[in-house]
Structure 1
């Protein structure tokens, strides 16, 4: 997989994580302690989130670095893992008819 595709998948996981917690970007940024411009760039795949910033997300939400960087749901809080899994299934079902 190319670096750009990996960056887009990472950005999508960050967006899904925020949306799963039902927070708008501004509220999310206050919650995790990351500036809005930086976060917007992470979600859009313009910049790759740093380990330090990713750890802030982990501490605030309970997600793991494995989820953020590798997409592995194991080890996440059950409610969040279930919500994220549902978003993944819905997205793949939408792509079937494309």
Structure 2
């Protein structure tokens, strides 16, 4: 069976797209999902992995799927998140 691969390198930019689409500052966003602001900063920079518990909290609070966060699947993702992701990718983030 061929399972889809997890794209750990892209997790940070996808989380950052959710952040940008929320209109909140980093620390404010981190607080909405109970993540330490320092850890959150490292996650969006790709310096720290997004553990499953944190991913689930982001998924539930901000209406994105775990498949979006970990695999990059855009199915069922709010348009403002996909727009933010496109913009971040276009500026080379």
TM-score range, shorter chain: 0.7 to 0.9
Instruction: State the TM-score, normalized to the length of structure 2.
Output: 0.78
More helix by share: 1
User: Helix, strand or coil for the counterpart of 1:16?
Assistant: helix
Gap runs ≥5 in structure 2: 1-6
Give me the whole-angstrom Cα distance separating, in 1, the residues matched to 2:39 and 2:13. 15
Q: Paired residue for 2:45?
A: 44
Q: Paired residue for 1:82?
A: 79
Instruction: State the TM-score, normalized to the length of structure 1.
Output: 0.75
Considering Cα pairs closer than 8 Å and 6+ residues apart, tell me whether 1 or 2 has the greater RCO.
2
Residues 33 and 72 (structure 1 numbering): CA distance in 2 closer, same or farther, change over 3 Å? Answer: same
Q: How many residues align?
A: 86
Gap runs ≥5 in structure 1: 1-5
Give me the whole-angstrom Cα distance separating, in 2, the residues matched to 1:61 and 1:91. 18
Q: Paired residue for 1:53?
A: 54
